[in-house]
């Protein structure tokens, strides 16, 4: 299976490493308007075909899928270009700048018969997957309350300075991951209420968000995110869980400690492995990149729909939009409005 990757920036290096580790897959072409980043990635990963124009790359072809690792404003153009070229697509999150673009992208892939998956990798972290297996097994009974939390003071702006520039920040960039984790555990959401704050005066968007979700299943879930939390030791980039069920409870605590309480208490270490090309503390996210990309490949080979397909991600993206509406207007928002 041959692939092309568009966007050779900071995070795309993880994707290139992960593709190299997946059996039967080869990235044969790279594209980026920044020739310095493009040539550096091409040299590091031994890729000969390089382009600064995506249309030219698609016209030349020679690949089965494309990995779109650019920022959201370019996604619709590139996804529609890929669909027209008849290749399968994995697209970085946030999937789109608005719901109209996102729906159009899903429609274009459907019309072309192409597999479209969003690179929504947080639910694929091995610690989160371990917790999902416990909950889905029925070990704690029927969940009725959850909390998914990500609180950190880590400087994400040094590696990705554009994050400080947008009017939206933490819900759109990080909260989307945490909302998707909540959906993975508890299903679709009926209503959401959100508040936001900006603690860092050097950024334009919000860096703290607290959201209350009412799921169709009846579960109430708190999703809270912060990049303004000073704590020692620093938890970045761990997502923490608390889930109450009808016969027990589950916690995923800092340090990757997973505790399940029913009649007894069992605590296990679910620390992710440190892949040869990974580095702490990013290693849990870097491992999840490999896991989600393997899932994409498996789905193409089996003809099945990815768990984080474009169609599924519309529901996560709708949560982001609803959260911003709720925070701006100070009211609960029904997802039917979106």
Residue 130's CB is within 10 A of a number of other CB atoms, namely: 16
Task: Evaluate whether the domain defined by 123-278+307-337 bears CATH number 3.90.1150.10.
Answer: no
State pTM to two decimals. Answer: 0.94
Q: Residue 50's pLDDT is what?
A: 98
Mean pLDDT for 300-315 is: 97
pLDDT for the residue numbered 228: 97
Q: What is the mean pLDDT of the chain?
A: 97
> Given this model, what pLDDT does residue 146 score?
98
The pLDDT-based confidence of 284 (bands split at 50, 70, 90) is very high
pLDDT-above-70 percentage for the chain: 100
Rounded mean pLDDT, 203-214: 98
pLDDT in tens, 137-169: 999 999 999 999 999 999 999 888 989 999 999
Domain 2-114: which topology?
A: Rossmann fold (3.40.50)
pLDDT at residue 142 in the model: 98
Same CATH topology for 2-114 and 123-278+307-337: the answer is no
Residue tagged 């990963």 (tokens)? 45
What are the residue boundaries of the structural domains of the chain, listed by start?
2-114, 123-278+307-337
65-68: strand order across its sheet: 49-51, 26-31, 2-6, 65-68, 88-92, 116-119
What is the pLDDT at residue 14? 97
Q: pLDDT per residue over 25-82, tens digit each? A: 999 999 999 999 999 999 999 999 999 999 999 999 999 999 999 999 999 999 999 9
């Amino acid at each position: 299976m041959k692939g092309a990757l568009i966007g050779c920036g900071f995070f795309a290096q993880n994707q290139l490493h992960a593709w190299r580790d997946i059996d039967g897959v080869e990235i044969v072409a790279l594209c980026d308007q920044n020739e310095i980043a493009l040539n550096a990635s091409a040299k590091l990963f031994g890729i000969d075909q390089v382009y600064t124009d995506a249309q030219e790359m698609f016209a030349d072809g020679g690949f089965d899928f494309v990995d779109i690792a650019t920022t959201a404003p370019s996604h619709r153009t590139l996804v529609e270009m890929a669909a027209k070229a008849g290749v399968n697509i994995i697209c970085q999150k946030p999937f789109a700048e608005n719901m109209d673009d996102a729906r159009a992208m899903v429609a274009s892939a459907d019309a072309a018969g192409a597999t479209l998956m969003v690179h929504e990798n947080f639910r694929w972290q091995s610690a989160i997957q371990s917790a999902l297996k416990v909950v889905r097994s029925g070990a704690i009974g029927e969940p009725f309350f959850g909390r998914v939390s990500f609180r950190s003071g880590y400087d994400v702006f040094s590696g990705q300075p554009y994050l400080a520039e947008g009017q939206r920040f933490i819900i759109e960039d990080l909260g989307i991951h945490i909302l998707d984790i909540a959906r993975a555990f508890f299903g679709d959401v009926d209503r959401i209420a959100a508040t936001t704050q900006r603690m860092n005066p050097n950024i334009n968007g919000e860096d703290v968000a607290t959201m209350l979700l009412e799921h169709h299943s009846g579960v109430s879930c708190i999703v809270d995110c912060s990049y303004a939390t000073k704590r020692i030791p620093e938890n970045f980039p761990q997502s923490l869980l608390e889930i109450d069920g009808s016969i027990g409870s589950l916690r995923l605590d800092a340090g990757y400690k997973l505790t399940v309480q029913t009649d007894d208490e069992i605590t296990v270490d679910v620390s992710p492995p440190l892949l040869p090309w990974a580095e702490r503390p990013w290693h849990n996210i870097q491992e999840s990149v490999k896991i989600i990309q393997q899932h994409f490949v498996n789905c193409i080979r089996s003809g099945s729909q990815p768990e984080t397909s474009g169609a599924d991600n519309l529901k996560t993206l709708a949560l982001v939009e609803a959260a911003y509406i709720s925070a701006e207007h100070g009211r609960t928002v029904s997802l039917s409005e979106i």
